[in-house]
A and B are shown apart, each in its own frame.
Chain A
């Protein structure tokens, strides 16, 4: 499973724990250059701390640590790297953007300086050069009048423009991988469409690989190449977007798709998932979804299903997973 030339990121058996309690377990992710991976899950499913772990940015003081696993970026494992080594990786190899740009931009620093800062830090560029690059980056992310706006402060930008500025800052040192954690959740739909369009353009132009963390299956369906569904700290299902959305192999994916109110159909009762996601303090044994699963049998509470190969490129962690989704009663 290694040595593939196009493999940019390969995560194996990643486990994140606080003390002895594992919050995230056995996460396997693969990403090639130019691919967009959607990481989907409800709040508390562990998608955000997984991303922070990829950057080795687990909040200090929280007690969170990487307990096991490997994060190979271009065949180099990031887990054993020291903090100074990691600091060189962040920005130049992996960029990250967040849900709320206002809280990740310095309010008293000009937009251009915030973008130029990392160029000067990582590449030792002169202030004038760095500023020229910042103007160019703002142009690339679609800010009108970039030469004028480079000296603006964040409060002078609208929400959508701030998110564009954060993308520009994340891409300043030409990373090959962008981790976008709920980048459009705080934006209105018309602005969300603009930002998603921008991310796809950048992917096409720069060959950027993107991990898009979201709870919105619509966003995934319209932008990603493949997706990974998380629930209670474990991957439930991974695979190419079309196959997973068309014929979900895992009952959780199936249920999640079912309870989205769509635009086209008339009002009908939504098939809600009973109960609520478990808290990390009392994750159920066996399959973590079994207390809410309509398909659950005795084996589900006794034995934990591994994330097994069910078809080419598709994995699912369910004792009854079938690639055509037939066990769910849906037609493939």
Chain B
């Protein structure tokens, strides 16, 4: 089976806003760069759901955008349905974007405040010429029903809708292109938990009904655990652990994944607040540490960790982890033991 999406060694670098002159290449006024994504490879099968988790600044959103060529990548390759997407070939990029769609975090700012829900969805149908003009109204009604809104809502403006309803319109717009892949970037982060559960259930339904592949980008580990079959953990632009969600969550191998999981406050009132296992905060992506990007904060770091190239993903336990060491099982704090 051909993979639906095959991303190989993708790298994205932004120029930091600073006083930079084109003829100055070193010293105080030289251009500085933010290395947002540093060699990420992922493979997505049709119908698969991949969660990308990590803290702010780890590059997870940039990765999602770079896959759709919404930001320019510096190196690497994206193959969709077996065909290479050349970022300079606008026809190839357009083909990719016709089969993929993005759902954003803030449902209000992702919609045009002057377009009604129906017009916002019809716009997508018209631009991509999905259905003949005389069928647009009918299709808009179908899409609204698909995402759990009534067809009468088509005349509402975004300000007349609640956050959850706006996010449903955003999802309807994404589904309008009949995509095979949806990239959802923190799409429930702005919603209250009772509404969040409604949207998660909707995404889960749609995924099964339409055999959608989904890249679900989130900082909320519980949400990813709930929705995704596979998960990739990012730190400073690199994937540090990659595997089936239940393996990564139950027996994490990378020290960062372990620290991240132990820091999530559980709603079990008998579990005490875990001691803060990680000191400090992630370093700035404009000054990457040498060696393993996590070594300055890692409780298990040894001399080798600070040297050379970052460790590559390799099979440890039942997941892939980018760490030089196989840490002993007793160092793994699974949530079940406690």
Interface on A for B, CB 8 Å cutoff?
Answer: 42-43, 158-161, 188-194, 196-197, 200, 215-223, 241-242, 245-246, 255-257, 259-264, 266-267, 269-274, 276-277
Question: Among B223, B262, B281, which residue has its beta carbon within 8 angstroms of that of A191?
Answer: B281
Q: A263-B249, A273-B194 are in contact. Are A194 and B264 (CB under 8 A)?
A: no
Q: Would you mind naming 14 contact pairs between A and B with Cβ atoms under 8 Å apart?
A: A189-B260, A197-B273, A197-B276, A200-B273, A217-B267, A222-B266, A245-B267, A245-B269, A261-B223, A261-B226, A263-B225, A267-B227, A272-B198, A272-B201
CB contacts (< 8 Å) of A264 on chain B: these are: 249, 266, 335-336
Q: Does B164 contact A (CB under 8 A)?
A: yes
CB contacts (< 8 Å) of B274 on chain A: these are: 193
Q: Does B263 contact A (CB under 8 A)?
A: yes
Contact between A263 and B221 (Cβ–Cβ < 8 Å)? yes
Contact between A273 and B197 (Cβ–Cβ < 8 Å)? yes
Bound complex: CA of A56 vs CA of B51, how far in Å? 44
Q: A259-B193, A263-B264, A276-B162 are in contact. Are A222 and B271 (CB under 8 A)?
A: yes
Contact between A276 and B265 (Cβ–Cβ < 8 Å)? no
Write the B166-209 contact mask toward A (1 if CB under 8 angstroms, else 0): 00000000000000000000000000111111101100100000
Contact between A241 and B269 (Cβ–Cβ < 8 Å)? yes
CB contacts (< 8 Å) of A277 on chain B: these are: 192, 194
CB contacts (< 8 Å) of B276 on chain A: these are: 190, 193-194, 197
Q: A245-B269, A263-B335 are in contact. Are A160 and B204 (CB under 8 A)?
A: no
Contact between B197 and A270 (Cβ–Cβ < 8 Å)? yes
Most buried by A among B193, B246, B263: B193
Contact between B273 and A262 (Cβ–Cβ < 8 Å)? no
Q: Does B97 contact A (CB under 8 A)?
A: no
Contact between A193 and B56 (Cβ–Cβ < 8 Å)? no
Nearest CB of chain B from residue A243's CB, rounded to whole Å: 9
Contact between A270 and B273 (Cβ–Cβ < 8 Å)? no
Contact between B273 and A222 (Cβ–Cβ < 8 Å)? yes
Contact between A242 and B270 (Cβ–Cβ < 8 Å)? yes
Contact between B226 and A221 (Cβ–Cβ < 8 Å)? no
Contact between B335 and A260 (Cβ–Cβ < 8 Å)? no
Question: Among B201, B221, B259, B265, which residue has its beta carbon within 8 angstroms of that of A216?
Answer: B265
Question: Among B201, B266, B267, B335, which residue has its beta carbon within 8 angstroms of that of A257?
Answer: B267
| CB interface residues, B 18-70, toward A, < 8 Å | 55-56
CB contacts (< 8 Å) of A273 on chain B: these are: 194, 197-198
Q: What are the 3 closest A-B residue pairs judged by CB atoms, nearest first?
A: A218-B265, A259-B197, A261-B226
Bound complex: CA of A215 vs CA of B265, how far in Å? 13
Contact between B271 and A255 (Cβ–Cβ < 8 Å)? no
Contact between B267 and A271 (Cβ–Cβ < 8 Å)? no
Q: Does B85 contact A (CB under 8 A)?
A: no
Q: Does B323 contact A (CB under 8 A)?
A: no
Q: Does B219 contact A (CB under 8 A)?
A: yes
Contact between A188 and B273 (Cβ–Cβ < 8 Å)? no
Bound complex: CA of A266 vs CA of B282, how far in Å? 30
| CB interface residues, B 244-266, toward A, < 8 Å | 246, 249, 259-266
Q: In this complex, what residue of A is CB-closest to B281?
A: A158
Contact between B281 and A272 (Cβ–Cβ < 8 Å)? no
Contact between A263 and B261 (Cβ–Cβ < 8 Å)? yes
Bound complex: CA of A189 vs CA of B56, how far in Å? 10
Q: Does B299 contact A (CB under 8 A)?
A: no
Q: Does B138 contact A (CB under 8 A)?
A: no
Bound complex: CA of A263 vs CA of B252, how far in Å? 13
Q: In this complex, what residue of A is CB-closest to B246?
A: A266
Most buried by B among A192, A196, A220, A259: A259
Nearest CB of chain A from residue B149's CB, rounded to whole Å: 13
Contact between A221 and B269 (Cβ–Cβ < 8 Å)? yes
Q: A158-B281, A189-B264, A193-B276 are in contact. Are A270 and B200 (CB under 8 A)?
A: yes
Q: Does B278 contact A (CB under 8 A)?
A: yes
Contact between A269 and B269 (Cβ–Cβ < 8 Å)? no
CB contacts (< 8 Å) of A274 on chain B: these are: 198
